[in-house]
Amino acid sequence: MGNGIITPLFILTWVIMSHFVYCQRPMVVNIGAVFTYNSVIGRVAKVAIQAAADDINADQSILRGVKLNFIMADAECNVFMGAIGAFHVLEGDVVAIIGPQSSSIAHMISFIANGLQVPLVSFAATDPTLSALQFPFFLRTTLSDSYQMVAVADIIDYYGWHEVIALFVDDDYGRNGITSLDDELAKRMGVLHRLGLPTRANRSDIANMLEESKLIGSRVYVVHAAPDSGLAILSIAHQLRMMTSGFVWLATDWLSVTLDSSQPSNRTTLNILQGVVGLRQYMPQSNQKKAFHLRWRELRQKGLVTFGLNNYGLYAYDTVWAVAHGIDEHLKNHGNITFSTNENLHNTKKSTLQLEKLKTFDGGKLLLEKLQKTNFTGLTGRIGFDSDRNLMGSGYEVINVDQKGIRKIGYWSNDSDLSIVPPEKLKGMRPSDLSLNQGLSKATWPGGEINKPRGWVIATNERPLKIGFPNRISFTEFVTESPDSHKVQGYCIDVFNAALKFIPYDVPHKFVAFGDGRSDPNFNDLVRMVAEDDFDAAVGDITIVTSRTRVADFTQPYAANGLVIVIPLKDRKSIAWAFLKPFTVEMWCVTGAFFIVIGVVIWILEHRINDDFRGPPRRQIVTMFLFSFSTLFKTNQEDTVSTLGRMVMMVWLFLLMVVTSSYTASLTSILTVEQLSSPITGIDSLIASNQPIGCQNGSFVKGYLTESLNIHSSRIVSLSNIGEYAKALQRGPNNGGVAAVVDELPYIELFLSKYTEFGMVGQMFTKSGWGFAFKRSSPLTLDFSTAILKLVETGELEKIRKDWFCKSGCAAERTHHSNPKQLHLSSFWGLFLLCAVVTLTAFLVFLLRTLRQFVRYKKKQRNLYPSPSSETNISCSQVCYNFFDFIDEKEEAVKRMFKQSDSAQEQVN
């Protein structure tokens, strides 16, 4: 009976006591912290973590009597020691681990945290591969490098650099961060060259890596390293004179951490950093942040710390508060913190490692959920996590080191990209105002330069450009290598060297022959070798065709190109009366008539006032008819002095200029076409002739004729050089030769400069050009194109062409056009009409003015000598005779007669 009552009472008591123990809040909660004490970040973090713990323990609004106790371990910047430190703190039944700062150590500890269900909250591990999927108990209270590398890529893209060298320590932090940058640059068509350093690299390793980087060509460097090693890289680069003009140095946030942590007295030693552009996590200004900076300054003044406060110290401080808020929420809902034995570790009791002391945190998942929901404002701004358990940051400051220190040149955020105002100020701006604030302020670059560096060098003396050229056996005038001196020379080489003078930087290079020298090489293969990086460029008589532009970039054409036709010329002379053919009969008659009319009218207009048009009748007749003819040869000795005469001569000379120039052009065309010995007058007649056609061996011309113009391949005859061109044309189609040769204009110009018995016929029926080939996206392409345009503008390109191909007359002068036509009157009737109207008008004006003068003179005569009977007896013929006699008088004589009449009239009165 007694035992029956005691047993239920004992069970009831046990249940009540168990519930009381479960609901009882602990007095102390242990939190672990694993980081490297003696490091730029660790030194600041240790002080910040302790300061946060003190503030939380003194704050009655959080945890309400529960004290935080930190168990710290030094990772010594070593993965193995970091793991040992993690085991050390986990033995103290910690509910969370803060740290580590190293991404490599974070990878290792994350596995341990997963196994024991202890949240790992890192304030400095930025490796983007620390993902929530692989490490479900990992949270990051700083910005991921995937976020930072977008900012770096945007800066590179903003300045227009396309090729970048990344220097990094080859560990999880460096390797995975640079991989993220590579992905971002690929989206912007950028190229990234990776150069990794061993984790324990010495100065010799760094120097060797930097020397190796010089051979790449890019001069834009991105340094992604820990704060402790990044400065060493830039210091050695300074010794190697790689922090001078022309170089670009970009640094991730390690630079701002190093500079913010250094003592003011040491900042003068950072002159080597002049011109470096870096990033610093952006944290909005707040009273909390200002108070903590003031507090840190007081610690320095008291000698309690000897280093500056960096942003990771602020992140460490906020991390402690985030963990405290999570624990507070956990205790509110669940009351107690318990641990249980891990069955997997319980089986290791026989081991001397004593792993069985490690316990699983029963509330780990619950605490993790509370941490993910964290939402408060700390020193760094709003503290909250995204779906990947990364801190939702506000962006970065873009900083620049110059002689005055560190200055901000802009900001970057994921929402607004680069801007010159803080991200929060951009949210309320209108789109027009937003665009005005995009970009960065003016930066200072290495060497004190204020203009943006080009960011690359094409080559160095140690690694000159490899420029391939076709090692030809024909058309060596374009490019060839001297067998004795091995000097590369030719028309194309001269153009290349002339263009080099307009390139605003040195281009060390060496020419490399392509081909065996026993046959002409395939130009498609030469261009393909440029695309495959066997050559940096190709120089020669390379035609720019569509298939080649798909694999390489070409410059502006330096030689106008296209396919032309060459045929033999006749040896016989033109007919004796060929000079009459340019004009039709009507044209000759009208032109001759105008010569006579102009001579007569000019004589009439000038006779009274110009002594050159007076004299004996025979002389005047000769002058009248020869005057207009002499204007044709500009040999006339007589000058026109009257206004009307000059007006007529101006129009006549203009008509004469147009007619004579047209006559000259037509006569030239007629005389040259008469020399053609072939019925082929152009591409159409060539296609229809069914006669054999010669073309250059190995050229694209054969494919064009057969595929584009549908000429049967049996008609195509391959010829190797200009000597074979001449022999085939001389033999003709009936004697085993060809009727015509089709090739590109520059080759034909060379051919015709040596063989004058041939000529081009018809028009150039394709349009292309020769250019220099470069690798895709090579900056040399644009610069050489600009240089070629300058050669054209200065006339240097034409001079080079004439020096090579016009020593005995340019081939263009023997270009013939088919079907010349005579010039008809209909082509010039407007000019003749204008001349006739002006001439007739001048004559009528002269005639009316003279008639008026004659009538006035006769009236004065009648008034002075009245004779009524005589007026009725004067016949019409007598009047005309008197009028012509009046006209024949000189103008001065007429004026004297008027003067005498006036004097006589006054005497009579």
Measure the CA–CA gap between 815 and 565, rounded to whole angstroms: 10
Is it the case that residue 397 has pLDDT exceeding 90? yes
| Own/partner pairs, 794-800, CB within 8 angstroms, 24+ separation | 796/498, 797/495, 797/498, 797/558, 800/491, 800/494, 800/495, 800/498
Identify the pLDDT of residue 2: 45
In tens, the pLDDT along 429-466 reads 766 666 677 889 999 999 889 999 988 888 777 788 99
Is it the case that residue 815 has pLDDT exceeding 90? no
Is it the case that residue 773 has pLDDT exceeding 70? yes
* Greater model confidence, 710 or 897: 710
Measuring CA to CA, which residue among 516, 515, 517, 518 is closest to residue 538? Answer: 515
* Greater model confidence, 753 or 24: 753
Identify the pLDDT of residue 15: 42
pLDDT, mean of residues 634-645:
66
Superfamily per CATH, domain 465-561+774-805: Periplasmic binding protein-like II (3.40.190.10)
Is it the case that residue 897 has pLDDT exceeding 70? no
In tens, the pLDDT along 718-727 reads 898 888 999 9
- Considering the chain, what is the average pLDDT of its residues? 82
Is it the case that residue 483 has pLDDT exceeding 70? yes
Contact 273, 234 (CB under 8 A): yes
Contact 231, 258 (CB under 8 A): yes
Identify the pLDDT of residue 352: 47
Identify the pLDDT of residue 13: 45
In tens, the pLDDT along 651-703 reads 877 887 887 887 777 777 666 655 555 678 788 888 888 889 999 887 888 88
Measure the CA–CA gap between 268 and 526, rounded to whole angstroms: 54
Identify the pLDDT of residue 339: 80
pLDDT, mean of residues 510-519:
87
What is the second-level CATH architecture of the domain 683-766?
3-Layer(aba) Sandwich (3.40)
Identify the pLDDT of residue 582: 74
pLDDT, mean of residues 491-520:
89
CATH 3.30.310.80 fits 28-143+306-346+354-383, yes or no: no
Is it the case that residue 118 has pLDDT exceeding 60? yes
In tens, the pLDDT along 242-299 reads 999 889 999 999 999 999 988 654 555 678 899 999 999 999 999 999 999 999 999 9
Measuring CA to CA, which residue among 768, 789, 782 is closest to residue 554? Answer: 782
In tens, the pLDDT along 719-761 reads 988 889 999 998 988 888 998 999 888 888 888 888 888 888 8
| Helix residue ranges, H only, 865-890 | 868-873, 876-888
Identify the pLDDT of residue 677: 54
* Greater model confidence, 52 or 623: 52
What is the second-level CATH architecture of the domain 145-286+394-437?
3-Layer(aba) Sandwich (3.40)
Identify the pLDDT of residue 206: 93
Cα separations (Å) of 905 from 471, 865, 895? 103, 10, 15
| Own/partner pairs, 51-57, CB within 8 angstroms, 24+ separation | 51/295, 51/317, 52/316, 52/317, 52/318, 52/319, 52/320, 52/321, 52/324, 53/320, 56/320, 56/321, 56/324
Is it the case that residue 511 has pLDDT exceeding 70? yes
404: which 2 tokens?
A: 């005055």
Is it the case that residue 20 has pLDDT exceeding 80? no
How many alpha carbons fall within 13 Å on the CB side of residue 125?
31
Contacts of 20 (CB under 8 A, 6+ apart): none
Cis peptide before 100 (omega within 30 of 0): yes
Identify the pLDDT of residue 639: 66
* Structural element, H or E, at residue 277: strand 277-281
Identify the pLDDT of residue 720: 85
Identify the pLDDT of residue 60: 86
> For the purposes of burial, counting CB atoms within 10 Å of the CB of 125, is it exposed (0-12), middle (13-18) or buried (19 or more)?
buried
759: β partners: 567
Identify the pLDDT of residue 444: 93
Identify the pLDDT of residue 869: 47
Is it the case that residue 16 has pLDDT exceeding 60? no
Identify the pLDDT of residue 638: 61
> For the purposes of burial, counting CB atoms within 10 Å of the CB of 460, is it exposed (0-12), middle (13-18) or buried (19 or more)?
middle
Identify the pLDDT of residue 602: 77
pLDDT, mean of residues 168-179:
93
Coil, strand, or helix at residue 456? strand
DSSP letters for 733-784: GGGTS-SEEEEEHHHHHHHHHH-TTEEEES-----EEE--EE-TT-HHHHHH
In tens, the pLDDT along 79-107 reads 999 999 999 999 888 999 998 988 999 99
pLDDT, mean of residues 149-166:
94
- What does the DSSP 8-state code read for residue 396? E
**Total count of residues recorded for the chain:** 909
